[in-house]
Chain A
């Protein structure tokens, strides 16, 4: 009986952290869909978001709402800046060059954070509720549950923006056919900026949540590696894929961590990654691109 309870508790915790993978994966997919850039720096952007929040809330002692707002603004500015100074000049270069550029970007962000805040792990001020929460008999950390709830709200906002907002429609148009979008009068470079801004804001919010649960450190960017697995498994250009795969990877990591041991966490996800790459290289929900000469 207790075994079942443990399984349920582990699964709930896994799905909870999977929500964070899902929104970070969403940020990744957004950039990929609109600009065809594989952004390996997403984990570092997330880390920077967490540190900026730390700077506002602990350093400047701002109230939670102001600090969160400030983080969102800074993350948006960062996204716009990255897009304008680094990604725009690479327009038309090979995707692999841009991919490597984002690796360099990740290194710059990590170094900057270490330079400002030091290399030691820090704790964010407590802003998520901390009392234990029970679903039936199963214990759920209320931090994880709240983070999951916030992540779900972010996802809903995201989907609504995509569906109804003018800019979101422009984004989808650009994603499906760049040239056609241009000829219909959509300002494609602006859409590029927009997608980077929204993605960085989303990653920043995810960073605030991840940091609140596990503390912050400059090595938080490793989170990005798991997100990479999420988006590959789900399909690089699929929003639904990112959501489903995010939850699934969170679950898988939690189960592997609980039943096999902590060191098996990344192993399990990466083995899954290899299997998916061998069987369905374009991911579970991704579009299968046909290449012609």
Chain B
């Protein structure tokens, strides 16, 4: 709780960004995002796109897991559905990319509803395991429905085009990926000012109480699944445009765990958490690569160590955050903000 921000109206209390300072920072952030491709080199723009895609998907998972309390290990598979739909449409129909992305999102959303149906009867861990089953089954479909998905070799697609320009390089795709992500994140944060979003939170806190209060559980749980997989589908579509090769192995179970880890590390049940977590978890392997690069003069086989060390760090981050900072980076950020808010009167 911050002090010094007296709220006089309900409107003000519900506002997304409640202080002028916050709005200025936000404006600054948007300027920085817009300026980024002009100052950064190709590698950083590539990373920026990747981070944006992961943020979109992690935000979707955050709606489902962080806000509705339904653990899902199927996020990567839903991304796969979106990616395959986008790739298929782009190859076979050549429709514009926004139509494809929307179709990818809706298709993934439908699959999400299908997967969410067991949530009528099972919840918690059982549901998490049901989503593992869903991702195994979807992987099987990706690998064996050869006439549509191209089987093991997958689909190779042409780049997206916008007004005749092919968006084939990260510095052009940046202008597609980042605005879509920003829109989706803003949409998600606004969601929790509406009845549906509040109902999600009520279900997370105690589902039986929520039902007593008049929230139809199944319907809202399915909404949550649909929304979350819609986000995953769109993110998967962006992923497809970014890499332009979609294979069954592109969306393994480990990737679902990655997104779960991202929202744990970032902070479940916080939009900011999803953003911070996805960015952090995407950057950690890059940072490790950098460190290994520095160490290579002393450690001859440093490159061979990279993959196992990455796996260990990945697991250690999940475990460490769960034990020592269960509310994630978002909480650390809030603490930092409070510190500067009161500085220099309290240290």
Residues of A within 8 A of B124 (CB): 95-96
Residues of A within 8 A of B132 (CB): 225, 228, 270
Q: In angstroms, how far is the closest chain B Cβ from the Cβ of A206?
A: 20
Are B309's CB and A115's CB within 8 A? yes
Q: Is B140 an interface residue (CB 8 A)?
A: yes
Residues of A within 8 A of B118 (CB): 274, 277-278, 281
Residues of A within 8 A of B296 (CB): none
Q: What mask results when residues 72 to 114 of chain B are scored 1 for a CB within 8 Å of chain A, else 0?
A: 0000000000000000000000000000000000000000000
Q: Is A158 an interface residue (CB 8 A)?
A: no
Are B209's CB and A101's CB within 8 A? no
Are B260's CB and A108's CB within 8 A? no
- Beyond A104-B316, A267-B140, 17 extra complex contacts between A and B, CB < 8 Å: A86-B323, A99-B125, A101-B322, A103-B257, A104-B318, A105-B315, A106-B315, A107-B315, A108-B315, A119-B308, A228-B129, A263-B140, A277-B122, A281-B118, A281-B121, A291-B208, A293-B209
Are A97's CB and B257's CB within 8 A? no
Q: Is A110 an interface residue (CB 8 A)?
A: yes
Residues of B within 8 A of A281 (CB): 118, 121-122, 126
Give chain B interface residues in 49-81, CB to chain A under 8 Å: 69, 71
User: CA–CA, A112 to B310, complex, Å?
Assistant: 10
Residues of A within 8 A of B218 (CB): none
Residues of B within 8 A of A107 (CB): 257, 311-312, 314-315, 318
Residue total for A at the interface (Cβ-Cβ under 8 A): 41
29 contacts between A and B (CB under 8 A): A90-B322, A95-B124, A96-B124, A97-B326, A100-B71, A103-B315, A104-B261, A104-B318, A106-B315, A107-B257, A108-B316, A111-B309, A111-B312, A111-B314, A112-B312, A114-B307, A114-B311, A225-B136, A267-B136, A267-B137, A270-B133, A270-B136, A271-B137, A274-B134, A277-B121, A277-B122, A278-B121, A281-B118, A291-B208
Among all A-B residue pairs, the 10 with the closest Cβ atoms: A104-B318, A107-B315, A111-B311, A111-B312, A108-B315, A114-B308, A115-B308, A104-B319, A270-B133, A104-B315
Give chain B interface residues in 203-224, CB to chain A under 8 Å: 206, 208-209, 212
When C-beta atoms are compared, the residue in chain A nearest to B317 turns out to be: A104
When C-beta atoms are compared, the residue in chain B nearest to A266 turns out to be: B136
Q: Is A34 an interface residue (CB 8 A)?
A: no
Q: Is B130 an interface residue (CB 8 A)?
A: yes
User: CA–CA, A263 to B144, complex, Å?
Assistant: 9
Q: Is B47 an interface residue (CB 8 A)?
A: no
Q: Known contacts A97-B322, A100-B264, A281-B126; decide if A293 and B208 are in contact (CB<8 Å).
A: yes
Are A111's CB and B315's CB within 8 A? yes
Q: In angstroms, how far is the closest chain B Cβ from the Cβ of A37?
A: 10
Residues of B within 8 A of A96 (CB): 69, 71, 124-125, 128
Q: In angstroms, how far is the closest chain A Cβ from the Cβ of B61?
A: 12
Q: Is B305 an interface residue (CB 8 A)?
A: yes
Q: Is A232 an interface residue (CB 8 A)?
A: yes
Are B318's CB and A100's CB within 8 A? yes
Q: Is A3 an interface residue (CB 8 A)?
A: no
Q: Is A177 an interface residue (CB 8 A)?
A: no
Cross-chain pair count, CB within 8 angstroms? 127
Q: Is B283 an interface residue (CB 8 A)?
A: no
**A residues touching B (Cβ–Cβ < 8 Å)?**
38, 86, 89-90, 93, 95-97, 99-101, 103-115, 119, 225, 228-229, 232, 263, 266-267, 270-271, 273-274, 277-278, 281, 291, 293
Are B130's CB and A277's CB within 8 A? yes
Q: Is B167 an interface residue (CB 8 A)?
A: no
User: CA–CA, A169 to B133, complex, Å?
Assistant: 35
Q: Is B245 an interface residue (CB 8 A)?
A: no
**B residues touching A (Cβ–Cβ < 8 Å)?**
69, 71, 118, 121-122, 124-126, 128-130, 132-134, 136-137, 140, 143-144, 206, 208-209, 212, 257, 260-261, 264, 305, 307-319, 322-323, 326
Are B129's CB and A232's CB within 8 A? yes
Residues of A within 8 A of B134 (CB): 274
Q: In angstroms, how far is the closest chain A Cβ from the Cβ of B183?
A: 29
Residues of B within 8 A of A113 (CB): 308
Q: In angstroms, how far is the closest chain B Cβ from the Cβ of A160?
A: 30
User: CA–CA, A277 to B312, complex, Å?
Assistant: 33
Are B319's CB and A273's CB within 8 A? no
Are B319's CB and A111's CB within 8 A? no
User: CA–CA, A207 to B332, complex, Å?
Assistant: 40
Residues of A within 8 A of B129 (CB): 228, 232, 273, 277
Which of B311, B313, B322 touches A100 (beta carbons < 8 Å)? B322
Are B311's CB and A110's CB within 8 A? yes
Residues of A within 8 A of B309 (CB): 111, 115
When C-beta atoms are compared, the residue in chain A nearest to B311 turns out to be: A111
When C-beta atoms are compared, the residue in chain A nearest to B140 turns out to be: A267
User: CA–CA, A110 to B254, complex, Å?
Assistant: 12
User: CA–CA, A106 to B312, complex, Å?
Assistant: 9
Q: In angstroms, how far is the closest chain B Cβ from the Cβ of A41?
A: 9
Q: In angstroms, how far is the closest chain B Cβ from the Cβ of A202?
A: 21
Q: In angstroms, how far is the closest chain B Cβ from the Cβ of A142?
A: 32
Q: In angstroms, how far is the closest chain A Cβ from the Cβ of B222?
A: 15
User: CA–CA, A101 to B118, complex, Å?
Assistant: 24
Residues of B within 8 A of A95 (CB): 124-125
Q: In angstroms, how far is the closest chain B Cβ from the Cβ of A191?
A: 22
When C-beta atoms are compared, the residue in chain B nearest to A228 turns out to be: B129
Residues of A within 8 A of B208 (CB): 291, 293
Are B133's CB and A115's CB within 8 A? no
Are A86's CB and B308's CB within 8 A? no
Residues of A within 8 A of B260 (CB): 100, 103
When C-beta atoms are compared, the residue in chain B nearest to A279 turns out to be: B121
User: CA–CA, A88 to B206, complex, Å?
Assistant: 25
Q: In angstroms, how far is the closest chain A Cβ from the Cβ of B69?
A: 8
User: CA–CA, A225 to B256, complex, Å?
Assistant: 15
